[in-house]
Amino acid sequence: MIKCIAIDMDGTLLKSTQEITQENREAIREAQSKGIEVVIATGRAYEESGELLKEAGIITPMICANGAEIRTKEHEVIQTNPLSKETAIEIANVLHSHQVYYEFYTNKGTYTLDKTTAKALIMDIFTVSGHIKNMDEIKEAAEKRLNDINQVDSYAILFEDSSQSIYKVLAFHFDQTVLAQVRQELNEISGIAISASAKENLEINSIHAQKGVALEEFTAARGISLSDTMAIGDNYNDVSMFKKAGRAVAMGNAVDDIKKQCHFVTGTNEESGVAQAIRKALEE
């Protein structure tokens, strides 16, 4: 019997337009009404995800930035797993040497050196994905994400500020050869975990900040067995929780490699695949 459900956001709970369908909202509330613990497990920072959930009326604990931060359903921080500043600088040096665009996720938000480049990249990704056909909708979706990003003149500001904890580095590049070279060099840095939420990006966290690690800690704290846990996701930053959960569910929009690592495949994020997976579990 499923007692806990962990749900990714981008490409999973969210449609391409960054919205949560009514069907998904109702299925989550139905699961909660039956005593099932639902937790959102996202690569996003809290600032990018908390408001979306609030607008949808979804009240759950959260695993943010791939597990760098865990929050209660009241959204109070109960655990953090940041990168050391020294490691963050090493990562930045590798990315900078290959002219790769990157952002820092911290306990105070997400930071970029260039919002113009960020917007162009996001729009290109939405366009290439083909999920959003209308250019106005693409611009609107890109601007939604940019609203939660802060621009700084130098990342040194983050490194020198002791109140800033660095949770994640998100890097983008459309050349797969460049990303492969960057990944190879990053693999030389100890204590980090490298994943991805799209073919155009790399997500770099502390080795302790992975969705699977966070999910294991989350369920253990509540006396729930991982075998009674279902994880729903669509990309490589979900693999660590797929490996931990008793039931791994891939979205219909996931690539074949992800689908092969899961027990079941549900509908796409445009078809309320999350609701389909939840209702299937509730019927058992």
Tokens 């007692």 belong to 3
For residues 39 and 51, give the distance between their C-alpha atoms in angstroms, rounded to a whole number: 15
Domain boundaries defined on the chain: 4-81+210-282, 85-206
pLDDT digits (tens, 9 = 90+) for 15-60: 988 899 999 999 999 999 999 999 999 999 998 899 999 999 999 9
Give the pLDDT band (50/70/90) at residue 131: low
Q: What is the mean pLDDT of residues 81-92?
A: 98
Among the listed residues 8, 10, 234, 238, the single catalytic one is: 8
Q: What are phi and psi of 199, to 5 degrees?
A: -70, -20
Q: What is the mean pLDDT of residues 93-111?
A: 96
pLDDT digits (tens, 9 = 90+) for 206-259: 999 999 999 999 999 999 999 999 999 999 999 999 999 999 999 999 999 999
Is the pLDDT reported for residue 129 higher than 70?
A: no
Q: Which CATH class is domain 85-206?
A: alpha beta
Q: Exposed/middle/buried for 12, CB within 10 Å: 0-12, 13-18, 19+?
A: buried
And the tokens for 86? Answer: 């020294």
pLDDT digits (tens, 9 = 90+) for 233-246: 999 999 999 999 99
Assess whether 257 carries a catalytic annotation: no
And the tokens for 27? Answer: 């299925």
Q: Which CATH architecture group holds 4-81+210-282?
A: 3-Layer(aba) Sandwich (3.40)
And the tokens for 131? Answer: 């999920």
Q: What are phi and psi of 249, to 5 degrees?
A: -120, 120
State residue 97's pLDDT score. Answer: 97
State residue 23's pLDDT score. Answer: 98
Three-point CA angle 138, 139, 142, nearest 5° = 85
Q: What is the mean pLDDT of residues 56-83?
A: 97
Is the pLDDT reported for residue 117 higher than 70?
A: yes
Please give the single-letter amino acid code of residue 75.
H
CA dist list (Å): 108 to 86, 104, 206: 19, 10, 17
